[in-house]
Structures are given as structure tokens and as C-alpha cells.
Amino acid sequence: MAFLELKNVGKHFGTTEVLRDIDLSIEQGEFVAIVGFSGSGKTTLISLIAGLLQPDEGTITLNDLEISAPGPDRGIVFQNYSLLPWLTAFENVLLAVEQAFPNWSAAKKRQHTEKYLALVNLSPARDRKPGELSGGMKQRVAVARALALEPQILLLDEPLSALDALTRATLQEEISRIREETRKTVVLITNDPDEGIYLADRIIPLTAGPGATLGPSFRVDIPHPRDRKSINHHAQFKTMRRGIGDFLLGSRREHHQFATRKLILPQIEPEDLSLPRPMGRRRPVRPKEIQRELIELE
């Protein structure tokens, strides 16, 4: 029995089938990247593993235990950081530590929190609030929070897609380093095949939705730590890149292609104008500002 096992998992929202026949087994210590188009159901898949959603068909087991609810044995890093803006970086991580290890002494909890902030190189910014951190720093806090739970598996839901290219490359290196240090089992969701090839041991494409399912695995045999420059010239890199690309494009041609896209609409409700607005700080997006739009893929 594999460490994380998904058997015949399916999920639909209303009448739309999002995922079907998902079979996936991941061994302990493995780093698996799942690559797919926007809107193909990648986030739904990781929410199922996290336990935030329940599958309509099939079963998901971690260490032979069925997953039915979220829990600190799975550390998840969300695409949009999901830090609590009224807590400092330190307090955000500490909150997770307090929940995961309620029996520890206060000093031990603080020490544990410091350790993981240091692991993501964020100790100097520990007392800043998320609003005062850059996107890359916020994502580091989110990674520290997930790792501080000492989870059995780390789930990364497009953790770098909101970042600029340079920050993205830096954080990819950090993730690679942290992974080498902790030897955690990792599931990475991404829309960038190159990111998958750089980081993962195995890459699995997710076909375009609706009714998305997993394609064949591509094993990456390039040894760690990988060098970004030389990897481009590695023979396997090119064939694999083409293979994944061809598979994804092929899957898209099979059905007539539509996908839903997340749109963030501007807030048009009147607010109190007599209060000065702080510049440059955006409040969190309210649920009703997020709409879904159906787009046709070329």
C-alpha cells in the first residue's frame, strides 16, 4: 500500500463533473508535481487530499487511514497565502504550532516557531504583519506555517503562481533546498511544466476539464540538487517537456474546450468616503467579488 493513495476518485459540483477516475499513489518521501491547465480542477484535487472537500466517488487514504476532514498531518500552502493579516509572521506560524502541539511548553512552542521561520530565511521579518511583507515573503511564511505542523505530507497549491518571475525562481530554489533538508513527501500543483521538472521526482499531467483525469507519470531521473542552467541542456529535460506538452495539448483537443476562470471583480459597494483609504494596501478579496467566467481555450 502506498503512502498516499487515491482510488477512483471523482468529484462534481452540481451537474458539472470536475474530476473523474483519479488514481494516484505516492510513496513516502516522494516529490510529485501535478501539472495542468487553469481551471482543470487542480485546486479541487488538492482540496480533496487536504480534506477541505469530500470526494463523491472513490477513497483517499494517507498511511492507510481514510481522509475525511482537514488535519495537521497534511500541511497545505494555498495559492493566495491565506495568512491572517492581523497577526505578525511569527504569530501566524505560532498559531499553527499551538494547534499542532498543544502540550508543549510556551518556550518550546516559540522555539519551534523560530526554527521554521529561520528555515525559510524569514527571521528578520518575524514581527511584521502580512501587509508589510512582499508576495514572496508572505509565501515563505505560509510555507513555514505548513512545515511547522510537522505534517506527514506537504501540499503546495500553485504556491508560486502569484509571484513575479525572479521571486519565483528564488523560491523554487528554496523549496528544493527545504525539501532536501526535511525529506518530506510533497505534492506540488502547478501550471508550469518547467517548475515541475526542476523540483519533482515525478510529474503527472492532469487533462483539461470538465471530467479531468490524470495522465501517465513522467519520472524525472535528474539527480538533486538540480542546477537550473545545466538542466536546460539535459537530454531528458527536452523529451520530457515535449512529452508533457504534447499530452496536455492532445487532451485538450479531445473535448471541445471550455474552462472556468476565476475573475476578481472590483468592489462597487459604496464605502464610507469620509474615512481616508490607506494607499497601496489591498484588503482581502471578499467572496462575492470572485466570479467565475467560462472561457474557450484556443
**Should residue 270 be labelled a site residue for other proteins when binding is judged by CB under 8 A?**
no
Does residue 152 bind other proteins (CB under 8 A)? no
Host H or E run for residue 19: strand 16-26
d(CA 36, CA 44): 12
Among 286, 291, 292, 293, binds other proteins (CB under 8 A): 286
Residue 21 or 132 with smaller CB distance to other proteins: 132
Does residue 287 belong to the site contacting other proteins (CB under 8 A)? yes
Question: Considering the complex, what minimum distance in angstroms separates the CB of residue 78 from other proteins?
Answer: 7
| By CB under 8 A, residue 281 contacts other proteins | yes
Task: Report in angstroms how near the CB of residue 278 gets to other proteins at its nearest.
Answer: 5
The string of DSSP codes covering 81-101 is ----TTS-HHHHHHHHHHHH-
Q: Would you say how long the chain is, in residues?
A: 298
Q: Sort strands 185-190 and 153-157 into parallel, antiparallel or unpaired.
A: parallel
Query: Which residues is 154 bridged to in the sheet?
Result: 75, 186
DSSP 53: S
User: What residues form DSSP beta bridges with 259?
Assistant: 295
Interface residue with other proteins among 65, 84, 118, 249 (CB under 8 A) is 84
In whole angstroms, how close is the CB of 284 to other proteins at the nearest point?
A: 5
- The owner of cell 497565502 is 81
Any alpha helices (H) in the chain, and if so which ranges? 42-50, 89-100, 106-119, 135-148, 165-182, 193-199, 228-231, 235-254
CB of 150 to other proteins, least distance (A): 13
Q: Check binding of 268 to other proteins (CB under 8 A).
A: no
What span, in angstroms and rounded, lies between the C-alpha atoms of 41 and 37? 8
Q: b/e string for 87-109 if b means 16 or more Cβ within 10 A?
A: ebbbbbbbebbeebbeeeeeeeb
Enumerate the H helices of 101-188 as residue ranges. Answer: 106-119, 135-148, 165-182
Q: Does 136 bind other proteins (CB under 8 A)?
A: no
Number of residues that bind other proteins (CB under 8 A): 29
Q: Does residue 70 belong to the site contacting other proteins (CB under 8 A)?
A: yes
Q: Does 284 bind other proteins (CB under 8 A)?
A: yes
- Helix or strand run (H / E) with residue 31: strand 31-36
Neighbours of 15 (CB within 10 A): 6
* Per CB under 8 A, 282 contacts other proteins: no
Q: How far is the CB of 286 from other proteins (least distance, A)?
A: 5
Contact pick of 278, 282, 294, 298 for other proteins (by CB under 8 A): 278
**Window contacting other proteins (CB under 8 A); options: 105-113, 176-184, 229-237, 274-282:** 274-282
Q: Which is nearer to other proteins, 86 or 258 (CB)?
A: 86
Q: Which of 272, 273, 294, 296 binds other proteins (CB under 8 A)?
A: 272
Residues that bind other proteins (CB under 8 A): 50, 52, 69-72, 74, 76, 78, 80, 82, 84, 86, 95-96, 99-100, 149, 272, 274-276, 278, 281, 284-288
